[in-house]
Amino acid sequence: MNELLIKNACVIDPLRGINAETMDIAIRDGRIVEEVSGAAEVIDAHGALTLPGGIDSHTHICGTKVNFGRYMSPEDMRAGRTPRRGPLHATSGYSVPTTYGNSYRYSVMGYTTLLEGAMAPLEARHTHEEFTYTPLQDTMANVLFDGNWGVMEAIRDGDIKRVAAIIAWTLRAVKGFGVKLTNPGGTEAWQWGKNVSCIRDPVPYFEVTPAEIIRSVVEANELLHLPHSVHLHCNNLGTPGNYTCTLGSLGLIPDLNRKRQTLYATHVQFHAYGGSGWRDFCSKSEPIARFVNMRPQIVMDMGQVMFGKTTTMTADGPMEFNLYRLHHDKWSNHDVELETGSGIIPVIYRRKNLVNSIMWAIGLELALLTKSPWQCLLTTDNPNGAPFVRYPEIIALLMSKRYRDAEFATVHPDTAARVPLPAIERELDWYEIAVMTRAGQAKALGIQDLGKGHLGPGAEADIAIYPLRIDEVDPSTDYRKVIEAFGRTEYTIKRGRVVARRGECLVDGSNATFWVRPKVSDAYDMGKDPDFIEKFDRYYTVRMRNYPVQEEYLNRNRCIETEAAI
């Protein structure tokens, strides 16, 4: 029996409505309990800010495209090297670090759970193998269905239950957690050298539109009773004037789930652009935020851009090709048969660049204009907008008008005429930041019942104690202290064990991977469906029996079974 008692913690726990109450937290064998014996080890938090462990609901840390980002950027691998020390492995890399680099750096910031935003089903083994070497966070993966042939055929035939059945079979086979649509239909069109311009463009051959894909997959997702909603990267990422396409996509979504949103729209900053071209490029954060404010069925994440070097990587192949033509630097393009694709390029976001300055402002505006913090979560779409190590700065920008003004003074001078940011007075408080960095993620991913994102009895003892007293620090003026504190916990506790202390990781942990197995009736078991089997054998280059990821690939296996309505 392992017992730990955290005394005098100043707790913010939004899922339980606790806002800055000083209390003790008792932990036994990795779970939070009502009380522990006198023999428990004691940590005195001395009134420091104590939150549930951070959760990143959209990041790219493991898998084939992340790894390609690594090996096409040896210069990035030279940027952040740390030597082997005690139980710690050597790390390297800045925007696409090694798995250990990701894990240690997230841990030092108090993050204990990560969702890989895009896993190609065919290449799932690679993602799971890298999860194994991401020792200090629990992990889960969104599975890409944006260009899945079987799904598109079922949509064309108007058979939503079959869509659900294919998703169920695939999630189970690849040990995935959620359903991801990246530029739905666009990646399939890209196999033909094309793209889709918005949600009404038919996909070549399949003749279904992105709108039909989104609507059908959303319905199928709810038929399967998955913990998470559909996770959407809208069409037309990064193009001027794309906000109308974004509004059109969000407008497709009915309110189908009482416990959580029906759609998670990711990195919306990249989808909130006005103008007819780069010359009149401007922010359209206001109409997007206004729209989301009226629709509880939508949750988005910021996709904040921060100035500096990074690597962009996404399943959105055609978009990366457009970026490549703009930057004319390195480019990787990748096709995943029958399923999806990807593209990768390195970028530098510059303050002196007007477009980059506007992008920076839009992410902050989305967070500040969305009334409920539960509906706009903090991300950079790591590493697309910036590496996750920049999160503390983003927190400080959201909490301090003064910091925003100081930064705004350094960006391109024409930015002020193109964005509403300078007029926004709102400063987020500690509670709202706790929502946007853990509680909101747990709710949006549907993992609070698994004991994630809160500190109630029975919860997983994932806890971050930051070296900061909220009664002593005014974030509006002391934003430097906020950055410092969120960059380096006093203690990061994972499953009841101190894994990081004052910027140093202490142990080589052992994570768990969460995945979903929807239980469907025999009639909808695609493993027994003659048509599905026949098409699989005809088109894939792998045999169907070799396709599923064996459970040995999962380090610590947390299977979530759902009762599907098919």
Minimum CB–partner distance for residue 508 and Zn ion (Å)? 28
Amino acid at 120: A
Q: Which of 56, 76, 116, 339 binds other proteins (CB under 8 A)?
A: 76
Minimum CB–partner distance for residue 236 and Zn ion (Å)? 12
314 binds Zn ion (CB under 5 A): yes
117 binds Zn ion (CB under 5 A): yes
Binds 79, which of Zn ion, other proteins, none (CB < 5 to 8 A, cut-off by type)? Answer: none
Burial class (CB in 10 A: 0-12, 13-18, 19+), 417: exposed
Q: Which stretch binds other proteins (CB under 8 A): 69-77, 107-115, 130-138, 517-525?
A: 69-77
Q: Which stretch binds Zn ion (CB under 5 A): 24-32, 82-90, 114-122, 495-503?
A: 114-122
Helix (H) or strand (E) run with residue 25 in it? strand 18-28
Supply angle C-alpha 20, 444, 70, rounded to 5: 100
Binds 381, which of Zn ion, other proteins, none (CB < 5 to 8 A, cut-off by type)? Answer: Zn ion
Q: What is each CA distance from 231 to 22, 426, 444, in whole angstroms? A: 36, 28, 10
Considering CB under 5 A, how many residues would be counted as binding Zn ion?
Answer: 4
188 binds other proteins (CB under 8 A): no
Q: Where are the alpha helices (DSSP H) in 265-423?
A: 285-293, 317-327, 354-369, 391-399, 401-408
216 binds other proteins (CB under 8 A): no
Pairwise CA distance, residues 64 & 469, whole Å: 41
74 binds other proteins (CB under 8 A): yes
Of 244 and 353, which CB lies nearer to other proteins in the complex structure?
353
Contact 81, 92 (CB under 8 A): yes
555 binds other proteins (CB under 8 A): no
Build a one-symbol-per-residue string for 10-49: x at contacts with other proteins by CB under 8 A, - elsewhere.
----------------------------------------
Q: Is 346 left (phi over 0), alpha (psi -120 to 50) or beta?
A: beta
Q: Which stretch binds other proteins (CB under 8 A): 13-21, 41-49, 68-76, 454-462?
A: 68-76
324 binds other proteins (CB under 8 A): no
Q: Which stretch binds other proteins (CB under 8 A): 72-80, 222-230, 459-467, 521-529?
A: 72-80
Binds 233, which of other proteins, Zn ion, none (CB < 5 to 8 A, cut-off by type)? Answer: Zn ion
Neighbours of 84 (CB within 10 A): 10
Q: Which stretch binds other proteins (CB under 8 A): 6-14, 75-83, 295-303, 395-403?
A: 75-83
Of 311 and 356, which CB lies nearer to other proteins in the complex structure?
311
Closest CA to 185 of 19, 317, 309: 317
Pairwise CA distance, residues 437 & 374, whole Å: 10
DSSP three-state, residue 118: strand
Q: Is 551 left (phi over 0), alpha (psi -120 to 50) or beta?
A: alpha
Binds 56, which of Zn ion, other proteins, none (CB < 5 to 8 A, cut-off by type)? Answer: none
478 binds Zn ion (CB under 5 A): no
Of residues 353 through 382, those in contact with Zn ion by CB under 5 A are: 381
Pairwise CA distance, residues 1 & 29, whole Å: 6
Helix (H) or strand (E) run with residue 211 in it? helix 210-223
Contact 303, 382 (CB under 8 A): no
Pairwise CA distance, residues 436 & 454, whole Å: 13
Neighbours of 44 (CB within 10 A): 12
| Residue closest to Zn ion, measured at CB | 233
84 binds other proteins (CB under 8 A): no
The alpha-carbon radius of gyration of the chain (Å, integer) is 22
73 binds other proteins (CB under 8 A): yes
List of residues 6+ apart from 417 with CB closer than 8 A: none
90 binds other proteins (CB under 8 A): no
Helix (H) or strand (E) run with residue 9 in it? strand 3-13
Pairwise CA distance, residues 214 & 253, whole Å: 8
75 binds other proteins (CB under 8 A): yes
Closest CA to 125 of 460, 561, 513: 513
Q: Which of 255, 329, 474, 561 binds other proteins (CB under 8 A)?
A: 329
Q: Which stretch binds Zn ion (CB under 5 A): 36-44, 161-169, 312-320, 507-515?
A: 312-320
Pairwise CA distance, residues 489 & 503, whole Å: 7
E strand map for 103-229: 111-119, 138-144, 178-182
Minimum CB–partner distance for residue 73 and other proteins (Å)? 6
Binds 157, which of other proteins, Zn ion, none (CB < 5 to 8 A, cut-off by type)? Answer: none
Minimum CB–partner distance for residue 216 and other proteins (Å)? 42
Q: Which stretch binds other proteins (CB under 8 A): 76-84, 196-204, 210-218, 353-361?
A: 76-84
Q: Which stretch binds other proteins (CB under 8 A): 67-75, 257-265, 336-344, 422-430?
A: 67-75
Query: What are the backbone angles phi and psi of residue 490, rounded to the nearest 5°?
Result: -75, -45
Minimum CB–partner distance for residue 186 and other proteins (Å)? 27
Of 209 and 311, which CB lies nearer to Zn ion in the complex structure?
311
Of residues 216 through 235, those in contact with Zn ion by CB under 5 A are: 233
Of 67 and 492, which CB lies nearer to other proteins in the complex structure?
67
Can you give the binding site for Zn ion, defined by CB under 5 A?
117, 233, 314, 381
Can you give the binding site for other proteins, defined by CB under 8 A?
72-78, 328-329
